[in-house]
């Protein structure tokens, strides 16, 4: 897939670690200039260095996606640096695993704000450019937890289900502007974020027993779907949700 996005400019939120980092690397390897966003500058700088070592270019912008002015500045910085915007990947997300009866309203609000408000703010800020130029791709990272009942994940599941509904609404609203809005709902993938869990044989076994494929996904299995949604092959595809979870959410 290398070179399929040559010259395109992509913004990726939550790009310092986990799937966000893998997404940024996949887009860069396909030829895109990547604008990386997360709260932690040091993590972003490491990803920029990794991309630069591969001969590509990226920009790191420390951003709180719940802050409207910070999000507007993120998009402005990317356009100022690279001259345009073509792809947005809303990946920022947090989890709170408190049982609902023990979960504070503040904890609930943090999850909803980051996962849903952040997606809204970034999509709106980027959409001003995408709709004006008459083309663009928005890819929202939802979760298979939006499609199934998972104890102690009420806020997370609710936020990701709302992201799916938001994806469909924006797909309809922006289709006439040549902008496609789709979502990926991943299950468990091997990233740095779950390295400790994978190293714990008992915990890893409990997690993978709930997955019909009996394993986690690898970033290489997500990359081609991401590049499909980011590239011209999906120009007539909008409002879709691609579930990649080894069968975990199948009823």
- Is residue 95 in a domain? yes
Task: Specify whether the CB–CB gap between 109 and 138 falls below 8 A.
Answer: no
Vertex 63 angle, CA 25 and 56, to 5°: 25
- Is residue 165 in a domain? yes
- pTM, entire model: 0.95
Q: How many domains does the chain have?
A: 1
Nearest 10 degrees: CA dihedral of 96, 99, 102, 106? 30
The CATH number of whichever domain residue 172 belongs to comes to 3.40.50.720
Is 156 one of the catalytic residues? yes
Per-residue pLDDT of the chain (251 residues; tens, 9 = 90+): 446 899 999 999 999 999 999 999 999 999 999 999 999 999 999 999 999 999 999 999 999 999 999 999 999 999 999 999 999 999 999 999 999 999 999 999 999 999 999 999 999 999 999 999 999 999 999 999 999 999 999 999 999 999 999 999 999 999 999 999 999 999 999 988 888 889 999 999 999 999 999 999 998 999 999 999 999 999 999 999 999 999 999 98
Q: Please identify which of the residues 82, 120, 156, 188 carries the catalytic annotation.
A: 156
- Is residue 4 in a domain? no
- Is residue 3 in a domain? no
- Is residue 248 in a domain? no
Tell me the residue range of the domain where 142 lies. Answer: 9-243
CA–CA separation, 49 and 28 (whole Å): 12
- Is residue 158 in a domain? yes
């Amino acid at each position: 897939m290398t070179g399929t996005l040559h010259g395109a400019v992509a913004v990726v939120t939550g790009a310092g670690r986990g799937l966000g980092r893998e997404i940024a690397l996949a887009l860069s390897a396909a030829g895109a200039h990547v604008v990386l966003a997360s709260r932690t500058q040091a993590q972003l700088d490491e990803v920029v260095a990794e991309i630069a070592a591969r001969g590509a270019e990226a920009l790191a912008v420390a951003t709180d996606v719940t802050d409207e002015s910070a999000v507007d500045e993120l998009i402005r910085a990317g356009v100022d640096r690279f001259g345009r915007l073509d792809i947005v990947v809303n990946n920022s997300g947090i989890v709170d695993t408190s049982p609902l009866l023990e979960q504070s309203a503040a904890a609930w609000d943090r999850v909803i704000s980051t996962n849903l408000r952040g997606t809204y703010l970034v999509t709106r800020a980027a959409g001003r450019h995408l709709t004006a130029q008459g083309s663009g791709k928005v890819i929202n990272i939802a979760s298979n937890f939006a499609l199934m009942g998972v104890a102690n994940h009420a806020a997370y599941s609710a936020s990701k289900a709302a992201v799916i509904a938001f994806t469909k609404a924006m797909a309809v609203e922006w289709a006439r502007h040549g902008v496609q809005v789709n979502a990926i709902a991943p299950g468990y993938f091997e990233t740095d974020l779950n390295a400790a869990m994978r190293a714990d044989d008992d915990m890893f076994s409990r997690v993978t027993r709930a997955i019909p494929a009996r394993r986690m996904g690898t970033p290489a299995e997500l990359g081609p779907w991401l590049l499909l949604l980011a590239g011209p092959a999906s120009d007539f595809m909008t409002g879709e949700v691609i579930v990649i979870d080894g069968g975990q959410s199948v009823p």
